[in-house]
Structure 1
Amino acid sequence: LRRRIVATRLPPKELVADRSQGVQLATIQELARYWATDYDWRACEAKLNALPQFTTEIDGVDIHFIHVKSRHENSLPLIMTHGWPGSVIELLETVGPLTDPTAHGGQAQDAFDLVLPSIPGYGFSGEPAEIGWDSGRVAQAWPELMRRLGYTRYVAQGGDQGAAVTDAMGRQAPEGLAGIHMNLLVTALGGGAMPAGTEEERAALEQTKTFRASGFGYFLEQATRPQTIGYALLDSPLALAAWMLDHDTDAYYKISRAFVDGKPSGGLTRDHILDNITVYWLTGTGASAARSYWEGGQATARAAGQAPPEVKLPVGFTTFPGEIFAAPRSWVEKSYPNLIYFNKAGRGGHFAAWEEPELFATEIRAAFSPLR
């Protein structure tokens, strides 16, 4: 890894002062310097190994998951799904607040038993050997995982790709699933018509248009040509890093400041960012993770013209201000009529659990409180 970082042939400096041409050279140079000299993977390894980890085969794929039981009685089982370009790494700092709330400003009755699986093709889970592993199929695997763990009643949460999985779980309504919470409105991102009558709604609509116009490149490439980008992601650690950093404007500038200025935004530190990228590199899952977007596109094409099942389960939703778009309550209610919790958080962005784990945990406690 270090030899490859040092040997990278870098492009010349961008010709603009912002990220409009992509990941800036100064950011990637400082990331490369830190990764090759100061970064300690063993620290991340120790953090992972301090948690109970398992694998189990479901539908022909080895599923890796972290399973932390709370010491408090009557804790609520929660399965939480990461996104892209994330992994279970982005959720690790929420383990303490969610499973041991009394040590983090909560009460014993707020406790969860926490299950953190790696999506097939991501990190430590196996890569599917056949097509068809879209978010709906992952959503079918998670209830089987919870059943094997002995849980007959549980809740689910997700952001980014994890929101797509959690949304699908809500529509499939497997036995035992009591409710869901998300922090990305995938129904709006998927092109669904949303109200645009108020100033808040129009602002959110403009945000979605801006993202599609200037921040959708990675999405289109992974949805149409994951194998092509995979050659770079598997061969060059800095290509992998740049690809993963170039997700959304808010997160990019926060990550860039962490490396260039040494000023992290909450949990988005240099070490945490590189922990996540290094998991992708060591497991060689850049291409297989990208393929999940292709699977999503294929599933959308198959379902063209068919209205998805309604989510009748209780739904909680939190809008974080730095998200790709700040979903208004009216948009969430249009997508999920049985909305039992909605809140606008005061800080945090697309990687909310990673950036603001304590605040994120507070939101999860509040959202699922009526279901205990």
Structure 2
Amino acid sequence: MAEPRPFSLHVSDEALADLRQRLALTRLPDQTPGEPWAYGTEVGYMSELVRYWRDAFDWRREEAWLNAFPQFKVQLDDVDVHCLYVEGKGPNPRPLLLCHGWPGSVFEFLNFIPRLTDPARFGLDPSLSFTVVAPSLPGYGLSFAPGQKRFSVEEIADRLVEVMAAFGYGRFLVQGGDWGGFTAARMAYAHPDNVEGIHLNIMPLPRDGKTNQGSTPEEKAHFDHLGAWLKDGTGYQWIQGTKPQTLAFALTDSPAGLAAWIVEKFRSWSDCEGVIENAIPRDHMLANIALYWFTGAIGSSFWPYYTRMHSEWPVPPGGKVMRPTAYAEFPKEMVRPPRSLAEEMFADIRRWTVMPKGGHFAALEQPDLLVEDVRAFVSAL
């Protein structure tokens, strides 16, 4: 069995200098006539963000923040998986696997993890704490190396079971959003003996575009919304899911292009009322983007989209997730199916919470609400 090896991140001074030079040479497009942001990332915002990233953003501070958490690498047959591994403080910490998605990274979890591992510090009952394993998903960030194989959600789920075993956990809880939510569902379906329960902040149901279905007003409203989102909100999925290599050239060569591609998602998917920084601090967003830049992992990170478009859903048709499940529905999540549809795939939904605020990046936007819901779910298991 693989032995976790201690790890610390240090981006070279040469890589930082190269980034600043590239940012200084950014060539911006003109602004499309019409309402700002209506056709994608707004030029004025990007101009200011590029200047800030070049002249004011402190990568070393963000790097030190990450390195303040214990980190490891776990060498599997086909990928060296990077993980944060933080032991819980309390009488009986529960093992919890945290799974990010796209365009996320482990930077999403740096405010969230301490609330799970050291609840007394935040005024929470220390009798329930968690030992957290938070991997960079295989193919993402520090779990990427040039030339390595690409990973589907199914393969990611299998590898993360191995990662948990390397830390001594044969049975554990899983929390995830975006592809992390799909991975959690797949793990519960394919590895039920390993998964005690899953907590999701995305409901990973099939999105087949049949917008005239639904036997209740809630279902019909969902399919109407889904149809509109599939038409106007999924362009990124089609290019990432059909020609990921082509897009990777542009985003691997241009930090401004990479940022513009990701920034639009932070704005569209967060509960920010049109101003990203209302929901996500600028430095936190740039730390996430910079990790994609320094690791060169953006092309590899597209692969779950490609396999999703060319294979079955991670929980195949007719399949059921039988493990206990909780769902936190944040109001600005891109798609929010009703419970009646979720129960067709998830047989044991124990908790369904409609949140008062927050969006797709729940651990980053609303760590207190998310940790409260995770704790309530696990307390009742």
Identify whether the pair has TM-score above 0.5, normalized to the shorter chain. Answer: yes
- 1:10 and 2:22 matched: no
- 1:33 and 2:51 matched: yes
Aligned to 2:307: 295
Letter in 1 for 2:373: E
Q: 1:314 aligns with which of 316, 321, 324?
A: 324
Equivalent positions of 1:85-124 (< 5 A) are 85-124=103-142
Aligned to 2:342: 332
* Pair 1:348–1:104, CA change in 2 (3 A): same
Q: What secondary structure is seen at the aligned counterpart in 2 of 1:186?
A: coil
Given that residues 181 and 201 in structure 2 are in contact (C-alpha distance below 8 angstroms), is that contact kept between their aligned partners in structure 1? Answer: yes
Letter in 2 for 1:124: L
Q: 1:279 aligns with which of 274, 288, 291?
A: 291
Given that residues 317 and 332 in structure 1 are in contact (C-alpha distance below 8 angstroms), is that contact kept between their aligned partners in structure 2? Answer: no
Letter in 2 for 1:233: L
Identity %: 36
Which deviates more, 75-84 or 151-160?
Answer: 151-160
Given that residues 59 and 141 in structure 1 are in contact (C-alpha distance below 8 angstroms), is that contact kept between their aligned partners in structure 2? Answer: no
Aligned to 1:52: 70
CA displacement at 1:70 relative to structure 2: 0.8
Letter in 2 for 1:48: L
1:187-226 deviation per Cα after TM superposition (whole angstroms, max 9, x unaligned): 1436589963333333322222222111101111100011
Equivalent positions of 1:156-171 (< 5 A) are 156-171=174-189
1:117, 1:15 → 2: CA distance?
42
CA displacement at 1:18 relative to structure 2: 3.8
Q: What secondary structure is seen at the aligned counterpart in 1 of 2:320?
A: coil
Question: Gaps spanning 5+ residues in structure 1: where?
Answer: none
* Pair 1:131–1:51, CA change in 2 (3 A): closer
Question: Gaps spanning 5+ residues in structure 2: where?
Answer: 1-18
Equivalent positions of 1:220-239 (< 5 A) are 220-239=238-257
* Pair 1:252–1:73, CA change in 2 (3 A): closer
CA displacement at 1:355 relative to structure 2: 0.6
Aligned to 1:365: 375
2:150, 2:275 → 1: CA distance?
39
Give the TM-score taking structure 2 as reference length. Answer: 0.89
CA displacement at 1:249 relative to structure 2: 5.9
2:303, 2:273 → 1: CA distance?
25
1:217-260 deviation per Cα after TM superposition (whole angstroms, max 9, x unaligned): 111110001100000110000100111123376436839624xx
Q: 2:100 aligns with which of 82, 85, 93?
A: 82
Which one has the bigger helix percentage? 1
1:170, 1:176 → 2: CA distance?
8
Given that residues 4 and 236 in structure 1 are in contact (C-alpha distance below 8 angstroms), is that contact kept between their aligned partners in structure 2? Answer: yes
Letter in 1 for 2:300: S
Q: What secondary structure is seen at the aligned counterpart in 1 of 2:306?
A: helix
1:296-323 deviation per Cα after TM superposition (whole angstroms, max 9, x unaligned): 323339x99x635321111111110010
* Pair 1:338–1:216, CA change in 2 (3 A): same
